[in-house]
Structure formats: structure tokens, C-alpha cells
């Protein structure tokens, strides 16, 4: 749970942003065929009841908090059809203040679906965007897509477009524009997860059975050789779990780890610290969000068919992500290279 999210963003400035979101939601409501479901008064009444709901408090890690408060002046709804049933649902922006008696405050969105003229709580979204000064701000819900941006409470001009969808009672980040991040000791690209064309999140490590449950049976290849180094697990017989677009390394204990993603003719995405890398990402676009090249390099393929970008997968990692691009600079694949 984040704290001190808006330490440098004044409450008055944030209130203005919330008011703008409310204005947009009211505009959206004028075209609704079922205005009763979009009634702000009933929605706010539902939110007031949520404040004592055990599950809601647990979702916010407030179940054991003795000292905190709700800033009711900054509770604002955003309306739109989240589950594509033709009826507008709602996201409610709200702020929790003074956890543990401190002067901190953090912002969230409550997710509510409109069902049978009643509001049904689904879950909450913590809008931290990966750093204390960064947060997600939603502006519109259109065709089931939540439009917004990553904002910076220390830089009013900072805005990185982002999109979310509602799925399985939560909000899923389906796209974040490529962007530069704070340059620390060296540049790197870290992958948080792989997204399938159906927006199912695939973790970088899991068991063999977990991957097969997510992606199907696949093909387990067992080459007649032992690999002593340069593998994720570093011991035992080397095996691979292979799909059309994905390859995982598998060890003797049936643990598995990401090795390769093939973008060609697929709609898979990589969610990274630099944003979403998709089949449409070009070498130039990726290079534009990278800074001092003391840790990454671009080289020509040996056969002259394109170029590769090699970059660490973490700030202190020796592993390299090898991005392959065709002769036109369009991405083809990415492979995790683990040195001996």
C-alpha cells in the first residue's frame, strides 16, 4: 500500500483534476439510456456503505488501521460501460488520509458494476504507477477501454498515455506508451509480465502445469544433452516448453521460466518498465526511450537480415534481453540470454 503519494501535489490541484473527471462523466451520462443506473447520488450512497464493508477495508489494507480518514471532498465518479453489457458502470476516485496517524494520503479507484438498478462492488485499484511520484489518472471509459495516463505529481507536464480494461473483478493494464524512466546507475528493461492477445497475464516463472493451464498443452522438447551453464535453472536436463509464439525453459522439478517471445504474426505484448512492447514496436521507438548506452548496444545480425538490441533485464542483472528486428526495424522476437 503506497503512502505519501501526493506529497508534492497540492490538494487544490488534485481537486481540480477530479472535478474535470466529474465533468467528463456527466457529459457521458447525457447519452445514457438508463440514467437511473448512473445516478451520482445513489452511487455516493453505495460508496458511503462501502466504508464499513469488511472486504473493502481488507482490499485497502485498512482492516487493522485504527487511525485514518476519508476525504469526502475528493470522491468523484467516472461513468462508462466496463463489462460491455450496455449499461454504464463506475470507477470512483477516492483518497485515504492519515494512516496510522501520519500526514500521508493515497488515492484509489473503487470498481462498481451496475446490475439490476443496483451498484455492485468488484474491487479496488491502487493507482500507484511504479514510483512514489507517479500515479494513474483515468479520464474516460469508451468501448470497455479505460483511457488515462501516468501523471507525475512533481511535473505537471508529464503525461504517458495508458489504457486499462476491466477483467476478473480488477483493472488490467493493456497498454502503456513507451517512455523514458529515471536514469540510475545504468539503463535496463525489466519485464513485469507477458500479455496474450486475450489480455491474459503470463508470468515470467511458473510451474509447467500452470503454463499449460494458461496457454494449453504445448510441446515439451527434451533434447539429448545437458546444459551446464547459461540456463535459468542452471542444473539438470535441459528441456523446453514450446508454443507458436512462446518458449519456456523447464527443469527436472517441472519449474519453468520465460526464454523467448516471437512477435511475428501475433498480438502478444511485453509489459515493461519502459511501457508496452508490441508487435508494432520499432527499433527506433525503443531506442528513443533509452538513455546513455553504457549498458546496451545495437548490432547488425550476422546474416545481414536486421539488427539486435541487447540490454540488461535489471539494474544489477548480468542477464541480457536480446531484441531482434528485421531489416525495416520492426520487432521480430525477444530472448532472455543468461551468461555462463
* Every domain of the chain and the residues it spans: 11-176, 191-337
What DSSP element (H or E) covers 293? none
Q: Give CA–CA dist 194/340, Å, rounded.
A: 25
In the predicted structure, residue 184 carries a pLDDT above the cut 80:
no
Least confident of 34-43, 121-130, 236-245, 314-323: 34-43
* Cell numbers placing 330: 520492426
Cβ atoms of residues 67 and 99 within 8 Å: yes
d(CA 331, CA 267): 12
Mean pLDDT, the chain, as a whole number?
A: 87
Angle at 124 between CA 118 and CA 128, to 5 degrees: 150
Angle at 133 between CA 129 and CA 136, to 5 degrees: 35
When pLDDT is averaged across residues 73-100 and rounded to a whole number, the result is 93
Considering only CA atoms, which of 181, 211, 219 is closest in space to residue 194?
A: 211
Q: Is the pLDDT of residue 98 over 60?
A: yes
pLDDT for res 152: 93
| pLDDT above 80: residue 269 | yes
Residue range 232-264, pLDDT digits in tens? 987 667 889 999 999 999 988 899 999 999 998
The whole-number average pLDDT for the span 293-306 is 92
The pLDDT value given to residue 224 = 62
Per-residue pLDDT, 12: 43
| Contact criterion met (CB below 8 Å) for 216 and 222 | no
Which is more confidently placed, 130 or 81?
81
Q: Is the pLDDT of residue 104 over 90?
A: no
Q: Indicate whether 54 pLDDT > 90.
A: yes
pLDDT digits (tens, 9 = 90+) for 201-212: 999 999 999 999
Alpha carbon distance 324, 260 (integer Å): 11
**Helix or strand or coil: residue 327?**
coil
What are the backbone dihedrals phi and psi of residue 180, each rounded to the nearest 5 degrees, phi first?
A: -75, 150
Report, as an integer, the average pLDDT of 213-236: 81
pLDDT of residue 292 exceeding 90: no
Kindly report, residue by residue over 126-149, the tens digit of the pLDDT: 998 988 889 999 999 999 999 999
Average pLDDT value for residue range 100-108: 86
> According to the model, what pLDDT value does residue 219 have?
95
Q: pLDDT tens, 11-27? A: 444 544 555 544 444 33
Sign of torsion, CA 127 131 132 136? negative
pLDDT over threshold 50, residue 10: no
Q: Which three cell numbers stand for residue 178?
A: 513507451
Rounded percentage of the chain residues whose pLDDT exceeds 90: 69
Q: Is 145 exposed, middle or buried (0-12, 13-18, 19+ CB in 10 A)?
A: middle
What is the share, in percent, of the chain residues with pLDDT greater than 70? 87
What is the pLDDT at residue 220?
Answer: 93
Is the pLDDT at 7 greater than 70? The verdict is: no
Give residue 302's pLDDT: 87
**What is the model's pTM?**
0.84
Q: Are 163 and 147 in contact (CB under 8 A)?
A: yes
**Of the listed ranges 18-27, 73-82, 224-233, the one predicted with least confidence:** 18-27
pLDDT at 293 over 90: no
CA distance linking residue 55 with residue 32, whole number of Å: 30
CB contact set of 86 (below 8 Å; sequence gap of 6+): 33
Phi, psi of 43 (to 5 degrees): -65, -45
- Under 8 Å between Cβ of 43 and 97: no
Neighbouring residues of 281: CB distance < 8 A, sequence distance ≥ 6: 178, 330, 331
Amino acid at each position: 500500500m503506497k503512502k505519501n503519494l501526493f506529497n508534492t501535489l497540492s490538494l487544490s490541484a488534485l481537486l481540480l483534476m477530479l472535478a474535470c473527471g466529474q465533468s467528463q462523466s456527466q457529459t457521458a451520462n447525457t447519452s445514457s439510456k438508463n440514467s437511473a443506473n448512473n445516478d451520482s447520488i445513489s452511487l455516493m450512497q453505495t460508496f458511503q456503505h462501502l466504508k464499513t464493508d469488511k472486504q473493502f477495508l481488507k482490499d485497502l489494507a485498512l482492516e487493522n488501521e485504527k487511525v485514518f480518514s476519508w476525504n469526502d471532498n475528493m470522491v468523484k465518479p467516472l461513468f462508462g460501460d466496463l463489462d460491455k453489457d450496455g449499461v454504464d458502470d463506475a470507477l470512483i476516485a477516492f483518497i485515504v488520509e492519515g494512516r496510522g496517524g501520519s500526514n500521508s494520503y493515497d488515492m484509489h479507484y473503487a470498481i462498481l458494476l451496475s446490475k439490476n438498478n443496483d451498484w455492485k462492488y468488484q474491487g479496488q485499484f491502487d493507482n500507484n504507477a511504479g514510483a512514489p511520484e507517479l500515479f494513474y489518472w483515468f479520464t474516460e471509459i469508451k468501448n470497455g477501454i479505460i483511457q488515462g495516463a501516468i501523471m507525475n505529481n512533481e511535473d505537471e507536464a508529464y503525461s504517458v498515455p495508458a489504457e486499462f480494461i476491466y477483467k476478473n473483478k480488477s483493472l488490467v493494464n493493456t497498454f502503456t506508451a513507451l517512455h523514458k524512466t529515471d536514469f540510475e546507475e545504468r539503463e535496463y528493461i525489466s519485464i513485469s509480465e507477458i500479455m496474450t492477445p486475450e489480455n491474459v497475464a503470463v508470468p515470467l516463472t511458473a510451474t509447467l502445469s500452470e503454463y499449460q493451464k494458461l496457454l494449453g498443452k504445448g510441446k515439451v522438447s527434451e533434447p539429448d544433452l545437458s546444459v551446464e551453464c547459461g540456463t535459468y535453472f542452471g542444473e539438470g536436463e535441459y528441456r523446453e516448453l514450446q508454443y507458436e509464439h512462446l518458449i519456456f525453459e523447464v527443469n527436472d522439478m517441472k519449474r519453468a521460466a520465460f526464454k523467448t517471445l516471437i512477435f511475428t504474426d501475433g498480438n502478444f505484448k511485453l509489459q515493461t518498465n519502459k511501457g508496452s512492447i508490441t508487435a508494432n514496436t520499432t527499433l527506433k521507438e525503443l531506442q528513443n526511450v533509452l538513455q546513455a548506452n553504457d549498458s546496451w548496444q545495437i548490432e547488425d545480425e550476422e546474416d545481414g537480415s536486421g539488427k539486435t538490441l541487447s540490454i540488461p533485464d535489471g539494474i544489477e542483472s548480468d542477464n541480457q534481453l536480446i531484441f531482434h528486428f528485421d531489416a525495416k526495424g520492426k520487432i521480430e522476437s525477444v530472448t532472455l540470454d543468461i551468461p555462463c
